[in-house]
Amino acid sequence: MKVCITSKGDSPESVPENRFGRTPFFVVYNDETGEVIEAINNSSANDASGVGPKVVQMLVSKGVNVVVTGQVGGNAGKGLEIAGVPTYAFGGAKTVAEAYAAYKAGTLTRIV
Amino acid sequence: MNIVVASGKGGTGKTMVAVNLAWALSQSQEIHLIDCDAEEPNVHLFYPGVKDEEPVTVKVPEVDSEKCTLCGACGEFCRYGAISVLTESVMFQANLCHSCGGCMLSCPVDAITEVPRRVGMITQSQPSPTLTVISGILDEGEIAAPAVIKAAKEAGEWDGVSVLDGPPGTACPVIETMEGADVCILVTESTPSGLADLRRAAHLAKAFGIPSGVVINRSDGDDGPTLAFCAEEGLPIFLTIPFDREIAAIQNRGAILCSEKEEWTEAFAKLYEDTIAIAGGKL
């Protein structure tokens, strides 16, 4: 299973990004091994409009199963819901690695 | 001939000028008055009563899930995020769609067709034998104002004179209104923001190559900066309407200034003469 975390940078030590669609990076973990598979550079981050649904399609095409982020907007939320991608808020996590650990510990609040 | 009344800044008196100009002209000739401020139409406030209604629709995609292979081509093409290919279905969000038809063209298996979706309506009435009033009205929550404006212009198209009451600003709705106009009346007021937005509107009309003149409304008598700008840009001042309590009171009860004060009928008839003069006398 692939767990993706919105991030200001491309590594597990980066600060998690509060915005979903306009996040600079998505750090993707393999849930079985706990390793980082890739950091996706978000090419839609600076688009004028419709960013949320575009990002959802991109993540779905990459086989992402779970999203961890700060918050999601209406259009993105609708896409994540229809796509069946459970989405969690990282809360007080200071790094992407902390956010992933909190997800694994089951302490995050589900927002979609 | 299309006369567009625009302003840049909202609330300067575009509708007041458009309604009075149309009313004054309708005393001697047939006129179409077209409300192109589809997001906040208000010409109808001066002409209440029964109207004919016609829906305005835009084309949106409909996906045949039998044919769709979830390949993702439509979603990758759509720069507005209106159509997205998800795990097991295609999600379409009508409020994001710009009706470009690109998703239909990009589909490799012809699974997408276009269907009409209502976004507003056109109303039409004839308050007097010489005056036809047409309003473009965007439905609440919709964003496609230019589609409704285009439909209103088409509904009012004829060989005679049309007065188009424009939307505020200088974005897509105003651009749609100005397209094909013969001449532009720019309404401003004696405030710094009135002048700042007049500047934008004047530059937009200039970019279109539409000759323009200015009406200063609610003038406090201190219009130096506006006059200087107009002189610099070569914009004639057609008319100055004073900041006057009586005029405001007439407006506030939905009455038409010209119909109550004969001197204003003459002033607006002259506004028309000056306007067609800069349009090169095209009629």
B96–A contact, CB cutoff 8 A = yes
Asked if B142 and B103 sit in the same domain, the reply is: no
CATH at residue A20 = 3.30.420.130
Asked if B112 and B182 sit in the same domain, the reply is: no
A52–B contact, CB cutoff 8 A = yes
Asked if B216 and B86 sit in the same domain, the reply is: no
| Nearest Cβ partner for B75 among A48, A57, A78 | A57
What is the distance in angstroms between the Cα of A13 and the nearest Cα belonging to chain B? 30
| Edge-to-edge strand list for the sheet holding A109-110 | A36-41, A25-30, A2-7, A66-69, A87-89, A109-110
Residue-number span of the structural domain to which A34 is assigned: 2-110
Which amino acid is residue B212, in one-letter code?
Answer: S
Residue-number span of the structural domain to which B51 is assigned: 2-55+120-278
Domain count, chain A: 1
Q: Could you give the 3-state DSSP secondary structure of residue B120?
A: strand
Question: Does ipTM come in above 0.95?
Answer: no
Residue B280 banded pLDDT, cuts 50, 70, 90? confident
Q: Are B42 and B171 in contact (CB under 8 A)?
A: no
**Stretch A59-75: mean pLDDT, rounded?**
96
Asked if B51 and B169 sit in the same domain, the reply is: yes
Query: Distance from CA of residue B150 to its chain's centroid?
Result: 9
Residues of B in Cβ contact (< 8 Å) with A79: 84, 86, 91
Residue B87 banded pLDDT, cuts 50, 70, 90? confident
Determine which helix (DSSP H) or strand (DSSP E) holds A30, and give its type and residue range.
Answer: strand A25-30
What is the distance in angstroms between the Cα of A105 and the nearest Cα belonging to chain B? 27
- Taken in order B79, B80, B82, B85, the sign of the CA dihedral is positive
Structure tokens at B194: 């009135």
CATH at residue B80 = 3.30.70.20
Kindly state whether residue B192 falls inside one of the protein's structural domains. yes
Q: What percent of chain B has pLDDT over 70?
A: 99
Q: Are B122 and B151 in contact (CB under 8 A)?
A: yes
Q: Tens digit of pLDDT for each residue in B146-184?
A: 999 999 999 999 999 999 999 999 999 999 999 999 999
Asked if B15 and B66 sit in the same domain, the reply is: no
Instruction: Please tell me the total number of residues recorded for chain B in this structure.
Output: 283
Asked if B81 and B48 sit in the same domain, the reply is: no
Kindly state whether residue B283 falls inside one of the protein's structural domains. no
Strand ranges, E, within B46-174 = 52-63, 83-85, 90-92, 112-128, 131-138, 161-165
Q: Tens digit of pLDDT for each residue in B23-69?
A: 999 999 999 999 999 999 999 999 998 899 999 999 999 999 999 99
For position B278, what pLDDT does the model report? 95
Measured between alpha carbons, how far is B250 from B261 in angstroms, rounded to an integer? 10
Domain count, chain B: 2
Statement: residue A31 has pLDDT above 70: yes
